[in-house]
Amino acid sequence: MNMGSKSLNLSEGRLAQILAEKITALQVFLDGSEDNKTLIKLMEGLYPSEIAYLIQHLSEDHRHQCVMRLKDQFNAEILLFLSPSLRREVTNCFDISELSKILMHLESDDALIILRDLEEGQHQEVLRYFPSEKSRFFSERLRYPQYTASGLMQSEVLVFPDHWKVFQALEHMRSCHTPRFYDVFVVDASRRFLGAIELSTFVKCQEQETLSEIMTRNVHAIPMDWRQEEITFMFRLYELISAPVIDTASRIIGVITVDDVMRVIEDKVAEDFMHLGGIHASDFHETVRKTSLGRLHWLMITVIDVILISLVIQYFEAVLYFKQGLTVLMPIAAAMGGNSGMQAATVAIRALTTRDLNTLNMVRFLWKEVSVSWFNGGLFGLGLGGLAFLWFKDVRVALVLGGAVLFNMLWAGIAGTLFPIGIARLSGDPALSSGPLLTTTTDVLGYGLFLGLSYLVFRL
Amino acid sequence: MNMGSKSLNLSEGRLAQILAEKITALQVFLDGSEDNKTLIKLMEGLYPSEIAYLIQHLSEDHRHQCVMRLKDQFNAEILLFLSPSLRREVTNCFDISELSKILMHLESDDALIILRDLEEGQHQEVLRYFPSEKSRFFSERLRYPQYTASGLMQSEVLVFPDHWKVFQALEHMRSCHTPRFYDVFVVDASRRFLGAIELSTFVKCQEQETLSEIMTRNVHAIPMDWRQEEITFMFRLYELISAPVIDTASRIIGVITVDDVMRVIEDKVAEDFMHLGGIHASDFHETVRKTSLGRLHWLMITVIDVILISLVIQYFEAVLYFKQGLTVLMPIAAAMGGNSGMQAATVAIRALTTRDLNTLNMVRFLWKEVSVSWFNGGLFGLGLGGLAFLWFKDVRVALVLGGAVLFNMLWAGIAGTLFPIGIARLSGDPALSSGPLLTTTTDVLGYGLFLGLSYLVFRL
């Protein structure tokens, strides 16, 4: 590690800078040399994640060229670190027999991630190249629901009978190859889960101690049908590094580790983030075509919203000719309501995801948001009403604007809380649907209230 | 674990349901009984995180009562799992000497989290009750910048000289109490970092092997001044569980573990989420007063936005009397631009955080967004222009609306990409400032384009 370098690119950091240099070197190499051996050597010292990062930054041409030239030495773990759309692009460079050959070396949970990403027919074909036992295993695993413990777990798990002594466990560990593990799981004669020993505690034990004496009982195990939200909640609550997955008879059938959970947590909050911004999933790595099409959905909803606004304005249009200034102030109540509603909805959506918001405190939270809306609605109703008075010297204009702002912000606070909660109750995704619903109602109500109140004040 | 229960509350899950039952029991108990011993017993079987979850769900009165009654047995780890505002509320139940007594039992990185949360004067006072060595240690640590490796690390770290044999390391581990660890770090005579051994590899080694022979060299170490974004990027890239923190002479001074990193990652994306929704940080646990005040900032920006819109409308107001229908269509271009701009900005902000977007592919990404905007802008410009024609039977109205939509969406795509990148370059927070800037420009431009084009078409 070069500690002497002080010329850090502060906004991107040292690590990204090192990778950037490698990308540039790779691009130059791909353009200038046909020498595959040097290319393979260039990649040899790198982690699969680093190679994925490099590949992700290449142009489509370079990427294809690079993958084709590395083909014989391609480490399937690279696929895991690619974004889904690039993963599909890269797997398409391989034919079925090549693909099955590289996938065979992956841990079971990782191989499943790639297999699930293939098209339906394709993964059946890949499995045909697997040894029959492995093929049966994966066919079985692919049938488990993806977003549950059984879909997420890794089948390679070390378990030890409770009557074993520490040295027996150690001998067994030495004799078999398993992926990295963090806890020692102890089972009874029927493989039923009894307890766990953290590895850093286990190493300190004397060779003659019996596992049942040193294990911690009442450790958390994950029923195989638990959904991933439940699992992340559990890992967070108990700060777990790994946890066994059990079937309905409490037998250990796999293990879930913290890296799987981190991926789920991050994917979930990133997904919420995208939904709040009006996108289904990040299209950063997608083509122009797919990106454009993927964004139409939300823009279509905006069209419905603006058509509704137009209809509201048309309905009340006549009143705008009665009093100068009304047209100028027309969009204000809708904008204030929309933004204050999104504030309430954002807090509610996040709190639903982290499970801070639930049946127990729903009413208290709604009540609080109503109070906040009264306060902020009152404040901005007064302020904007006051401004309107100074501008147009007409107390009726001030009253109309102030009233519309107050009531729309009040509605925004209530809807911004109730929509996410209601959608979650109906097993929908609050982050996805709350925004459009909320914006449409605050827009329609914002214009409707302002113009409707104007009509009452100026025409009746 | 009760595997028989099938009456799961599907939207909240079994774990939350169990906790909910405990909360209800606790509320009933707090109201009905003065018996502190039973209360302490009730809490004894629970993890600190569970107690924090329960406390978080109580009303302020109940919470205060509960903390006061548990005071003598209060486990400081509970504080770590509370949201910052509730943490302050709970620590205020303790006087300084009580607080220092409970904090003394925490691991160094955890104690620091609590100490940093106290007011300036307060943590000096707490430290005065610590043994002098510990007090000096924490004063020193508090001076490290919070968001760097040195602020994040845990000082308790086991290191072993490279010439030691496995059994010597084991003996040493047994003799000292350290927090859970996942890797064995190997150093030279001056404590300089040489390599690491994953614990699950270490347990498999023979007692007589020398550490320098079994360790992995070129393992990633974190320079103490690295910022947390850099550290999370590194953990993600190399799927690390723990990594040593080194000073400028490569000596190990601490360790960062995956749970710290998970917290940072989740906090960061949750923060981005809040910023996108117009909130500084989640105010879920804040009082009405603090919530209302905390949201004013963003609403004030909305006020500036609507005032600008009003001025634009006023400037062009005369044209609205020339052609019926213009008023009705006025808000459309602004809304379409605002939403398509937020789509581009959302993808850019997230990609900046995950470092998918950087100097290397900036131009390519901008170019892609411009193409997407042309496509979608053209599509919706045509569609909405067509609708306007059907509605008002005037091709000039259709041209004005279509043009305004197209050009505003084009601007939105460019600005939605350039604002986040530019703000990140200036070391600002793209998630915080992109939204307001973007919305204000698309609003002003949306109204300006529509009314300006109308002026050109209908009055000149």
In a domain, A273, yes or no: no
Q: Which of A219, A242, A258 is the last residue of a domain?
A: A258
Q: Is the dihedral angle over the CA atoms A390, A393, A397, A399 positive or is it negative?
A: positive
Residues of A in contact with B239 (CB under 8 A): 49, 259
DSSP code of A73?
A: G
Helices A60-70, A13-32: axis angle to 10 degrees equals 80
**Measured between alpha carbons, how far is A322 from A333 in angstroms, rounded to an integer?**
20
**Measured between alpha carbons, how far is B342 from A242 in angstroms, rounded to an integer?**
38
Are the beta carbons of A250 and B181 separated by less than 8 Å? no
**Measured between alpha carbons, how far is A45 from A26 in angstroms, rounded to an integer?**
14
Q: Same domain, yes or no, for B126 and B29?
A: yes
**Measured between alpha carbons, how far is B245 from B194 in angstroms, rounded to an integer?**
12
Q: Mind telling me how many Å the CA of B418 is from chain A's nearest CA?
A: 15
Residues of B in contact with A50 (CB under 8 A): 237
Could you give the angle at the alpha carbon of A63 between the alpha carbons of A62 and A67, nearest 5°?
115
Cβ-count burial of B405 within 10 angstroms (0-12 exposed, 13-18 middle, 19+ buried)? buried
pLDDT digits (tens, 9 = 90+) for A281-313: 888 988 899 999 999 999 999 999 999 999 999
In the numeric block, the tokens 């020498």 are attached to: A35
pLDDT digits (tens, 9 = 90+) for A170-209: 999 998 888 889 999 999 999 999 999 999 999 999 989 9
Going by pLDDT thresholds of 50, 70 and 90, the confidence category of residue B4 is: very low
Going by pLDDT thresholds of 50, 70 and 90, the confidence category of residue B12 is: low
Q: Same domain, yes or no, for A137 and A199?
A: no
Chain B residue nearest residue A296, CA to CA: B376
Percentage with pLDDT > 70 across chain B = 97
Beta strands in B53-192 (DSSP E): 159-161, 183-187
In a domain, A360, yes or no: yes
Does pLDDT of A9 surpass 50? Answer: no
Q: Which of A105, A123, A152 is the last residue of a domain?
A: A152
Q: Mind telling me how many Å the CA of A246 is from chain B's nearest CA?
A: 10
**Measured between alpha carbons, how far is A396 from A1 in angstroms, rounded to an integer?**
71
Going by pLDDT thresholds of 50, 70 and 90, the confidence category of residue B286 is: confident
Q: Which of A101, A127, A152 is the last residue of a domain?
A: A152
Average pLDDT over residues B387-409: 95
In a domain, B269, yes or no: no
Q: Same domain, yes or no, for B179 and B60?
A: no
> How many CB atoms within 10 Å of residue A129?
16
Q: Mind telling me how many Å the CA of A270 is from chain B's nearest CA?
A: 7
B216 beta partners: B196
Average pLDDT over residues B177-201: 93
Q: Same domain, yes or no, for A88 and A170?
A: no
Q: Same domain, yes or no, for A400 and A292?
A: yes
Which pLDDT belongs to residue B60? 87
**Measured between alpha carbons, how far is B119 from A4 in angstroms, rounded to an integer?**
37
* CATH number, residue A184: 3.10.580.10
Q: How far apart are the first and last CA of chain B?
A: 79
> What are the angstrom distances between the C-alpha of A231 and each of A143, A235, B204?
20, 6, 30
Q: Mind telling me how many Å the CA of A12 is from chain B's nearest CA?
A: 8
Collapsing DSSP states into helix, strand and coil, what is residue B441? helix
Amino acid (1-letter code) at residue A224: M
Are the beta carbons of A339 and B383 separated by less than 8 Å? no
Q: Mind telling me how many Å the CA of A125 is from chain B's nearest CA?
A: 31
In a domain, A3, yes or no: no
Of B241, B278, B310, Cβ closest to residue A342: B278
Amino acid (1-letter code) at residue A250: S
Chain A residue nearest residue B350, CA to CA: A270
In a domain, B283, yes or no: no
Q: Name the token pair of B437.
A: 């800037």
pLDDT-wise least confident of A411-425, B20-34, B240-254: B20-34
Percentage with pLDDT > 70 across chain A = 97
Of residues B151 and A186, which shows the higher confidence score? A186
In a domain, B53, yes or no: yes
* CATH number, residue A124: 1.25.60.10
**Measured between alpha carbons, how far is B192 from B214 in angstroms, rounded to an integer?**
17
Q: Same domain, yes or no, for B26 and B131?
A: yes
Instruction: Return the number of CB contacts < 8 Å for A and B.
Output: 349
DSSP code of B399?
A: H
Residues of A in contact with B291 (CB under 8 A): 368, 372
**Which among B157, B164, B207, B208 has a CA at the least distance from the CA of A206?**
B207
Q: What is the DSSP string of B301-332?
A: HHHHHHHHHHHHHHHHGGGGGTSTTHHHHTTH
pLDDT digits (tens, 9 = 90+) for B353-385: 888 898 888 999 999 999 999 999 999 999 999
Residues of A in contact with B443 (CB under 8 A): 335
The answer to whether the CB of B124 falls within 8 A of the CB of B138 is no
Going by pLDDT thresholds of 50, 70 and 90, the confidence category of residue B145 is: confident
Amino acid (1-letter code) at residue B334: A
Q: What are phi and psi of B58, to 5 degrees?
A: -80, 160
Which pLDDT belongs to residue A8? 32
Of A16, A299, A347, Cβ closest to residue B336: A299
Q: What are phi and psi of A145, to 5 degrees?
A: -65, 130
**Measured between alpha carbons, how far is B6 from B21 in angstroms, rounded to an integer?**
16
Q: Same domain, yes or no, for A71 and A215?
A: no
B195 beta partners: B186
* CATH number, residue B306: 1.10.357.20
Does pLDDT of B3 surpass 50? Answer: no
Question: Which residues have C-beta within 8 Å of that of residue B374, sequence separation ≥ 6?
Answer: B410
Q: Domains in chain B: how many in total?
A: 3
Q: Same domain, yes or no, for B307 and B390?
A: yes
Does pLDDT of B21 surpass 70? Answer: yes
Residue B375 sits in which domain range?
A: 288-459
Of residues A103 and B42, which shows the higher confidence score? A103
In a domain, A168, yes or no: yes
**Measured between alpha carbons, how far is A37 from A39 in angstroms, rounded to an integer?**
5
Residues of A in contact with B284 (CB under 8 A): 347, 350-351, 356-357, 365
Q: Same domain, yes or no, for B192 and B295?
A: no
Q: Same domain, yes or no, for A220 and A81?
A: no
pLDDT digits (tens, 9 = 90+) for A19-54: 888 888 888 888 887 788 888 888 888 889 999 999
pLDDT digits (tens, 9 = 90+) for A377-402: 999 999 999 999 999 999 999 999 99
Helices A362-392, B288-316: axis angle to 10 degrees equals 40
Which pLDDT belongs to residue B355? 84
Q: Same domain, yes or no, for B85 and B110?
A: yes
In a domain, A382, yes or no: yes
Q: Same domain, yes or no, for A323 and A435?
A: yes
Q: What is the DSSP string of A318-365?
A: GGGGTSTTHHHHTTHHHHHHHHHHHHHHHHHHHHHHTT-SSTTTHHHH
Which pLDDT belongs to residue B354? 84
**Which among A345, A340, A334 has a CA at the least distance from the CA of A443?**
A334
